[in-house]
Amino acid sequence: MGWHRVANAGDVAEGAVIEVEVGNQQVALYRVAGELFATDNICTHAFACLHEGYLEGHTIECPLHQGIFDIRSGEPLEGPVDEPLRTFPVKTEGDDVLIEI
Ligand code: FES
């Protein structure tokens, strides 16, 4: 448990999602309306990488079966998903993006 530097602030553009890693943990890092969010990158339904999905507002659609999660809470919203994603606190320090895991 602790804060880990995962990216430069410029690595994630507005309205985009990228994959970052903390140890062997895959995390999806999003920027929406200027704010950064982090969730598990692996869908809770089956094995699919959410950073390859479709980000619309504060929702991410899984590329495999189109399950939809709220990236702020991790809650499943639609589709075959019923388990929430874990979410992680994010902060910036200068140009560094840090995630608490
Ligand atoms: Fe994500 Fe099925 S793997 S909805």
Atom of ligand 1 nearest to the CA of 44: 1
The tens-digit pLDDT sequence of the chain (101 residues) is: 799 999 999 999 999 999 999 989 999 999 999 999 999 999 999 999 999 999 999 999 999 999 999 999 999 999 999 999 999 999 999 999 999 99
- Nearest atom (ligand 1) to Cα of 66: 4
Does ipTM exceed 0.90? yes
Architecture of the 3-100 domain = 3-layer Sandwich (2.102)
Ligand 1, atom nearest to 63 Cα: 1
Quote the tokens at residue 22: 């903390």
For 59-89, the DSSP string reads EEE-TTT--EEETTT--EEETT--SPPPEE-
Q: What is the pLDDT of residue 28?
A: 98
Ligand 1 lining (C-beta closer than 6 Å): 43, 45-46, 48, 62, 64-65, 67, 79-81
Q: Which residues, at least 6 apart from 71, have a Cβ–Cβ distance to it below 8 Å?
A: 28, 30, 32, 37, 39, 55, 58, 59, 60, 87
